[in-house]
Structure formats: structure tokens, C-alpha cells
């Protein structure tokens, strides 16, 4: 019989980074946890010797694997209470330098894969009238940095999707939080970041400079992924979890600064904005 006293977690992208550290935390708490990777041998060590763990193969761009992973989770644990959409990666290029195949592949993983994964767990959450979906976005979901326009576009897409999902899910007991980290000390830049080989000299001081900084910054980021995982767990235990969780000082300063700047600009144009309506 499935354990009903502890939340059942399903975390995508557990081979490295946030997904792996979060999975360690939930498993160590004794909570039933499904850990996934495109090759489950890379996460087998997380669940070895644990009755509360299940490792499955999952590439979120593969619909059949999504269906099989959700079915396996429900067969072993009876349900999914918390879905963490963490799988994805980055691609850096100036907008003009972007390669069509790379852009579409990133959207397949970061956006369409996340959409499909969410759709797969919603029927169970809707039936039970409870559930919490955590979508790992980024400060790039609020800020389009030079060199990260296409990556930011994937995260902006997830933010808009999550707004709608939160409105639809609230009456059904389904909660949605977007987790927006800044720079964290994971191997994201080394393993989960691609950069275009195309370099246009005119973008050297904008996109080019940021790509160089990102590559050289790996291992020096101020964010602690274990503390980030603990923060994620904390909000799932809240009766009124936030729609947004921004993680790290750099993300807090960047996101709040951007939102204040945007609001000030919109309010400064109020007269022009309202003039676009038919006269009353």
C-alpha cells in the first residue's frame, strides 16, 4: 500500500545541479521521490538501498517516456504530490548569431517538454484536488540579458504558462510556483550550457562579453544549491505558497530592479496608454 503520510515528489533532471541536490534532501527526509535522468544509471546511486526512491529514464522531449515515468511513479507510490520541472539547459548567442536548430532544440526541452510533463501529472492532481508544481525558471524569466535572449524567451514562456496554470489550478487545489535562481554553484555552465560558435564582432562587448563571463564564472557562483533545495521544500510545506520564489541576492536585486523599472515606465506613459481607448 502506498504511503499517504508523506508527500510524493517527482523531480526531472536529477543527474546534476538543483535536481540532484533537491532529490537528496527529499530522499533523506524519507519522502517517496521519483528521480529522473535521460540515462537513469546517472541517478541510480541516489536511490540505491532506498524503498522510498525510484529512478526512471526520462527525456522530457519524449512523450512515451513521460507517460511511462508517470505511470511507474503512480504504480509504486500511488500518486504524485509535487512535480518539479527542473530538466532543461541553456544556449547563449547574440540574437543575430542564433542557430535555428539549437534554438528549437532548447525550446523543445525547456518549454514544450515542461508543458508535456505538466499535462501528464495534472489528471491525477485534479482528481485528488491537491498538488504543487514547481517550475524552475531563472532570473532570465524576468530579465533578458545580452547573449541569453533565446534562453530568456524559454523562461518567459514558462512564466506566462505558469500564470495561466495557477489560475486554472487554484479552484482544484493545485498550486504553482516558479523558482527563479540567479547564479548558483552547480556545473550548469560546464554541462548544461551551449554557446554558438558564430561570433559577430559588433556584439563582442555585449553578448560576447557575457558569454565569456558565464564560462569563466563556473565554480564561483554565490548561490548554494543545497540551501536552494531547502527553500523549495519550505514553500511546499506552506498552506499558501508563493507564485514566485526568487533565489539568491543577485537574482533578488536584478528581478526587483527590473520590475520597478518596468512599472515606472508603464506608469509614466499612463496618459498615452489610456488615450488608445475609444472616448467614453
**Residues with catalytic annotation?**
151
User: Which grid cell is 121?
Assistant: 501529472
d(CA 25, CA 21): 6
Q: Which residue has the cell 508527500?
A: 7
User: Which grid cell is 40?
Assistant: 537513469
d(CA 250, CA 106): 25
User: What pairing do the DSSP bridges indicate for beta strands 90-92 and 33-37?
Assistant: unpaired
Q: From start to end of 129-263, where are the E strands?
A: 131-136, 174-181, 193-195, 244-247
238: buried, middle or exposed (CB in 10 Å: 19+, 13-18, 0-12)?
exposed
Alpha-carbon distance values, 237 to 124, 189, 240 (Å): 20, 31, 9
Instruction: Find the helix or strand (DSSP H, E) in which 83 lies.
Output: strand 82-85
User: Which grid cell is 262?
Assistant: 518596468
Number of H helices, E strands in the chain: 11, 9
**Nearest Cα to 134, choosing from 174, 206, 82?**
82
Task: Give the distance between the most distant pair of CA atoms in the chain.
Answer: 70
Amino acid at each position: 500500500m502506498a504511503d499517504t503520510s508523506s508527500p510524493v515528489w517527482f523531480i526531472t533532471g536529477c543527474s546534476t545541479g538543483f535536481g540532484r541536490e533537491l532529490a537528496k534532501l527529499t530522499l533523506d527526509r524519507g519522502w517517496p521521490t521519483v528521480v529522473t535522468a535521460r540515462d537513469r544509471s546517472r541517478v541510480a546511486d541516489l536511490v540505491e538501498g532506498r524503498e522510498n526512491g525510484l529512478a526512471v529514464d526520462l527525456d522530457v522531449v519524449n512523450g512515451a517516456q513521460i507517460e511511462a515515468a508517470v505511470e511507474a511513479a503512480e504504480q509504486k507510490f500511488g500518486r504524485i504530490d509535487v512535480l518539479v520541472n527542473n530538466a532543461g539547459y541553456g544556449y547563449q548567442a547574440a540574437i543575430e548569431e542564433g542557430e535555428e536548430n539549437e534554438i528549437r532544440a532548447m525550446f523543445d526541452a525547456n518549454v514544450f517538454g515542461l508543458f508535456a510533463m505538466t499535462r501528464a501529472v495534472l489528471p491525477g492532481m485534479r482528481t485528488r484536488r491537491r498538488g504543487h508544481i514547481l517550475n524552475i525558471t531563472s532570473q532570465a524569466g524576468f530579465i533578458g540579458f545580452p547573449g541569453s535572449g533565446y534562453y530568456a524567451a524559454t523562461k518567459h514562456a514558462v512564466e506566462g504558462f505558469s500564470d495561466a496554470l495557477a489560475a486554472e489550478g487554484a479552484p482544484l487545489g493545485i498550486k504553482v510556483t516558479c523558482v527563479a535562481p540567479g547564479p548558483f554553484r552547480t556545473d550548469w555552465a560546464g554541462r548544461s550550457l551551449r554557446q554558438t560558435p558564430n561570433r559577430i564582432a559588433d556584439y563582442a562587448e555585449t553578448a560576447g562579453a557575457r558569454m565569456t563571463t558565464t564560462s569563466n564564472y563556473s565554480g564561483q557562483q554565490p548561490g548554494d544549491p543545497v540551501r536552494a533545495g531547502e527553500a523549495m521544500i519550505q514553500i511546499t510545506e506552506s498552506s499558501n505558497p508563493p507564485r514566485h520564489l526568487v533565489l539568491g541576492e543577485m537574482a533578488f536585486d536584478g528581478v526587483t530592479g527590473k520590475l520597478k523599472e518596468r512599472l515606472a515606465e508603464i506608469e509614466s506613459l499612463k496618459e498615452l496608454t489610456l488615450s488608445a481607448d475609444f472616448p467614453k
